[in-house]
Amino acid sequence: MIQTDMIVDAKGLACPMPIVKTRKAMKELAPGNVMEVQATDKGSTADLKAWATSAGHQYLGTTEQDGTLTHYVRKSNSEEIQEKTYPHVVSNEELETLLANRAEIVLLDVREEAEYAFGHIPGAKSVPLGELDDALSIDKDSLIYVICRSGSRSDLAAQKLTEAGFVNVKNVVPGMSGWNGALEKSM
């Protein structure tokens, strides 16, 4: 079960009402939180995906059960559009090569739980950025690769880890938005 911060019931409503209700509810949602939108309009999948993208939010995915579509949308936050400042970065391709060669690394996925559930790199450990401080019991000398959707949250996480005394931290850019390697789902 995917944990969400708000549920919008748009069942029985036709276009454009699922978008109208979602847009209105999104104003009440805190940045970084995930909204669940329940709808029965088959066109709502394409509509919500397009709206989320145009509004700068992240469309995570959709599940369907008994004729009800459940959409997941994450509200973007200002941290994600900050300039990237962490100097030690690697490309997705470099990470994919390390994983193929079975390198001894720790891969931290700092996206929210719902983002991780809809698709993550096999072996990645889910540690949402907001839980980074109290979720780490990793050896400070480990080779740590940090990934998120675009490289922004992982940039912040890499900075936090370095400030906490971790010595081998790399930010993966562009992150999951450009990942072409293997994926797992955990929903």
Catalytic residues, by residue number, are 15
Distance CA(84)–CA(104), nearest Å, equals: 26
**Contact criterion met (CB below 8 Å) for 146 and 171:** yes
Q: How far is CA 62 from the centre of its chain?
A: 14
Distance CA(157)–CA(138), nearest Å, equals: 14
1: number of Cβ within 10 Å: 5
Q: SS3 sequence, 46-100? A: HHHHHHHHHHCCEEEEEEEECCEEEEEEECCCHHHHCCCCCCCEEEHHHHHHHHH
